[in-house]
Structure 1
Amino acid sequence: MSLVTLQLGQCGNQVGTSLFNVVADEINRQNGVLAEDFQEVFFRPVSDRHSGQGAQQHARAVLVDMEQKAVAAALRPARGASWGYAPCSSLTQQSGSGNNWARGYCEYGPKHTPDVIDLVRREVEAADYLGGILTLQSAAGGTGSGFGAAVMEGLRDELPSTLFLNHTVWPFDSGEVIVQSYNTLLTLQHLTASCDAIILAENSALHRTCQRMLNIARPSLPDLNGVIAHDLASVLLPAKVRGGRRLSLLSGLLVALGGHPAYKLASLQSVPQLPASSVDFTSFAWPGLLKRLRQMLITGAFMEEGLDWSATPSPHQQHTWQRPHNKALSALLTLRGSGASTADTHSFTDPALFPSWQAEPLTVTSTSVPFARCEMSASLLSCNQACAQPAARMQTRATSMLAARAYVHQYEAFGLGLSDLQEAVCSATEVVGRYAMLG
């Protein structure tokens, strides 16, 4: 089984490179403990040693950006790396989208989507069995978000039975791009129609994690991408469903998320969160790790520090965004390390954590193989109410901007009108409303 990764825009290419580095490091660290067939999930042997530039294997990935800088950096092999990207696995142009979603979607989409589909098809045909496609992108810009949305629609039409898991990086609330509220809601609207599940990662949460948990005073983009890659690898690396077989990618993962067409947003939380230099001096115990992870689910927090321990779930509570007592539609709990198969996860079966109508909301997987040099670690991938909070905040800003018709002309210049922006706002309102109903 193989997983093809599609890296869209600067953010998607940087996150993808970090993810493959983490996966390759884990495979090398385990020295054969991770099955060889799993290595083939992410990598394939280099057919031409000269084209590999020293790499022993190529990532099953397609790299796309309308500018060359990010892709060129990714294609440049790191010294001593055991893997690399195939030289013919990328598509670049000379000019970006200028953070204009409409330009990426309406101009570059029709022009270059067929070429991207051809590259993806080549990777799919190189796989003995395709487990699905993982797409990586941002939501705020023009290429990764706008052109990425067009590519996803084209791939959905071309590969209708293929499973698509999307990872989207959500912008800082303080603003990276002046029109990011429009861009993010347009991205969300189109991805919910073309993907089977969307994992949202907020830049603000990643930044706080780097500062407070990893002791990085001034986090850089590689630092934030490292957190994303760590969390993604924690659920993508092999683990067995308790009492069953190894969790299959991507079907088993998506089934664990509930597979409900109205609830596609998911979040990813993990413990412990600590600097690599502190791992050797840290003691691990399952009760403490799982207690913190459960409270992170209840409060919708993405960081272990500063948890509200007074928050307790209630079967009939009224959910509010200001003080969320978070409910999840479904969750995948993954335990890695010593004693993972026997760790007590009973606290995650509390009916108050899930809607009353959800019959089997929790899936638990485990493996004795440690992760990231930690004796014990756990991650929680869940479809929960906190996922909709960023969309709720962005919807409020976009509504205010639309009332003043702010920057609408920039989208109209590429064929996207006021009604399209209003439709994206309405779509976000519906998403937020559906998640609020889980409470």
Structure 2
Amino acid sequence: MSIVTLQLGQCGNQIGHELFSAICGDVRGTHGLCSKKENESYHDACKERFFSEEESQVPVARAVLVDMEPKVINQTLSTAARSGYWRYDEHSHFCQKQGSGNNWANGYSVHGPRHKEAIMNLVQREAEKCDRLGGFFTIMSMAGGTGSGLGAFVTQCLRDAFPTSFILNHIIWPYGTGEVIVQNYNSVLTLSRLYQSSDALLVHENDAIHKICAQLMNIKQISFRDVNQVIAHQLGSVFQPAYTAESGSHYSRNPLGDLMETLVPHPEFKMLGLRNIPQMPENSLAYSTFSWPGLIRHLRQMLIANAKMEEGIDWQVRPPRVGSSIPSSHPMNKPQHFNTSIANLAILRGKDVHSVDLGSFQDPSLYTSWLNPQDAFNAWKTPRAFNKENKHEDSFHTLGETSLCLKYDGRVDNTEQCLCSVAYIHQYTKFGIEEEDFLDSFTVLEQVISSYTIL
């Protein structure tokens, strides 16, 4: 099944371009870890998901590009076309001359309704190109106005127009130090709307990716492109074909559906986090060796300690005791930094993947009590390495991250304080977003936070 990607706003378009570039580079690569037949099967599955081909034989990304300013879209279209390896459909983009001014209300209440028909016509056209539509993958930031506001509006439109299709929103959590002065408002409004429309939200935190660039990739002057390339690599390692337990000797044909079935067992819990190991500069790979037991051990502790990278893992964090008479949510039984999971998916790529022992991830103490660990953990595998790495690669998704919920809690508290002081509210009320809309958003997110907190 094919996935239609929606690149929304400056951030969404830049990450989307890096993602398609990473996927195309992976398809074009030669990989010595698998047979020619295996490689061809992998190529076919990938192209069906992400690209269509026209008479020119140049793969065309299954994507719709949307921004309220033309600069980034023009750059994205031209850069992809110049590569000669893939391109965007020249008719699958929409832009205007004036942006949203980092104002969620402007994107949601003004640009959204005004341009709904034009944008949804592009989406419908792209969906009709698919022999079998698997769903939609949206890429957006939560800090600005177009990605967050228009992105939330478009997601609601997708749900209305395609009620049976899966929708996965990829959202970029802004830097804690603040990129935009009203980013707390934008984030709270975005999350509350998406939680009601999306099937799942995959979160990348800018602060965490920035640390990966600095400490693992050894990048001295970190640019947004560096951050976006790390994000794109992680996303590609998730979405590229792999064998599921049910797919047997064929690559999964319904990637979004399989992800939802595996990671979203309850509609109240739809926040997904991603961990990837190993992560290092490309020029260091030739001098590095990995063993699956070592990677698995590090990845499990990253999950337990809620670490986003292998460097600096807190090895003192341990799961709570199973069978204790004290409720799992009680502070005496739940270590301060322990990350309780609802569901986990491990994706292994590389040599000898089918002989790897993943039993440590089925430990009942890692999971909430209301789901059987046998159902909570799944593994997808392929001997085909991802991108330029002829090494072992292991990607991990977790749902139900306690620390992430605490960040939501802090952001909601900060936003409520700003609202009480009436700070910048006039920027939203002039576009039709009233205090009641904020209060409704607080109610939605406080319920979500409460649900995660008692895990």
Q: Deviations along 1:84-120, whole A, 9 cap, x unmatched?
A: 0010000000000000000100011111122111101
What is the aligned partner in structure 2 of residue 64 from structure 1? 66
What is the aligned partner in structure 2 of residue 356 from structure 1? 369
| Alignment equivalent of 1:185, drawn from 171, 188, 192 | 188
Please report how far the alpha carbon of residue 241 of structure 1 lies from its aligned counterpart in structure 2 after TM superposition.
Answer: 1.7
Q: Is the 8 A contact 1:265 1:388 kept in 2?
A: no
RMSD between aligned alpha carbons? 1.6
Aligned residue for 2:398, secondary structure, equals strand
Q: Deviations along 1:355-382, whole A, 9 cap, x unmatched?
A: 1210210111111111231410111112
- Please tell me the residue identity of whatever aligns with 1:43: F
What is the aligned partner in structure 2 of residue 383 from structure 1? 399
| Alignment equivalent of 2:300, drawn from 294, 298, 305 | 294
What is the aligned partner in structure 1 of residue 448 from structure 2? 431
Q: Is the 8 A contact 1:319 1:326 kept in 2?
A: no
Residue 266 in 1 paired to residue 272 in 2?
yes
Q: Is the 8 A contact 1:198 1:265 kept in 2?
A: yes
- Relative to the length of structure 1, the TM-score reads 0.95
CA–CA distance in 1 between the matches of 2:174 and 2:216?
20
Match runs of 1:112-261 below 5 Å: 112-242=115-245, 244-245=247-248, 246-247=251-252, 248-261=254-267
Q: Is the 8 A contact 1:319 1:325 kept in 2?
A: no
Please report how far the alpha carbon of residue 217 of structure 1 lies from its aligned counterpart in structure 2 after TM superposition.
Answer: 1.7
What is the aligned partner in structure 2 of residue 306 from structure 1? 312
Query: Gaps (5+ residues) in structure 1?
Result: 50-54
Aligned residue for 1:164, secondary structure, equals strand
Aligned residue for 2:342, secondary structure, equals strand
What is the aligned partner in structure 1 of residue 360 from structure 2? 347
Distance 1:81 1:114, change over 3 A: same
CA–CA distance in 1 between the matches of 2:177 and 2:390?
34
Q: Is the 8 A contact 1:109 1:147 kept in 2?
A: yes
CA–CA distance in 2 between the matches of 1:390 and 1:21?
32
- Relative to the length of structure 2, the TM-score reads 0.92
- Please tell me the residue identity of whatever aligns with 1:365: W
Q: Deviations along 1:375-424, whole A, 9 cap, x unmatched?
A: 10111112122332331221121121112111111100000011111221
Q: Is the 8 A contact 1:270 1:378 kept in 2?
A: yes
Q: Deviations along 1:105-154, whole A, 9 cap, x unmatched?
A: 00111111221111011111000001111100001110000011111111
- Please tell me the residue identity of whatever aligns with 1:59: A
What is the aligned partner in structure 2 of residue 366 from structure 1? 381
Please report how far the alpha carbon of residue 433 of structure 1 lies from its aligned counterpart in structure 2 after TM superposition.
Answer: 1.1
Distance 1:243 1:129, change over 3 A: closer
Q: Deviations along 1:11-50, whole A, 9 cap, x unmatched?
A: 0000100000110011101476123243121111124x4x
CA–CA distance in 2 between the matches of 1:336 and 1:169?
25
Aligned residue for 1:206, secondary structure, equals helix
Q: Is the 8 A contact 2:27 2:46 kept in 1?
A: no
Aligned residue for 2:255, secondary structure, equals coil
CA–CA distance in 1 between the matches of 2:363 and 2:141?
34
Please report how far the alpha carbon of residue 426 of structure 1 lies from its aligned counterpart in structure 2 after TM superposition.
Answer: 2.4
- Using the TM superposition, name which of 380-389 and 191-200 deviates more: 380-389
Residue 337 in 1 paired to residue 350 in 2?
yes
Structure 1 stretches of 4+ moved >6 Å: 319-322
CA–CA distance in 2 between the matches of 1:300 and 1:374?
28
CA–CA distance in 2 between the matches of 1:293 and 1:396?
32
Aligned residue for 1:344, secondary structure, equals coil
Aligned residue for 2:274, secondary structure, equals strand
- Please tell me the residue identity of whatever aligns with 1:396: D
CA–CA distance in 2 between the matches of 1:418 and 1:331?
38
CA–CA distance in 1 between the matches of 2:123 and 2:182?
30
Please report how far the alpha carbon of residue 80 of structure 1 lies from its aligned counterpart in structure 2 after TM superposition.
Answer: 3.7
Q: Is the 8 A contact 1:200 1:387 kept in 2?
A: no
> Aligned residues: percent identity?
40
Q: Deviations along 1:311-344, whole A, 9 cap, x unmatched?
A: 0111454477993200111111100000111101
Query: Gaps (5+ residues) in structure 2?
Result: none
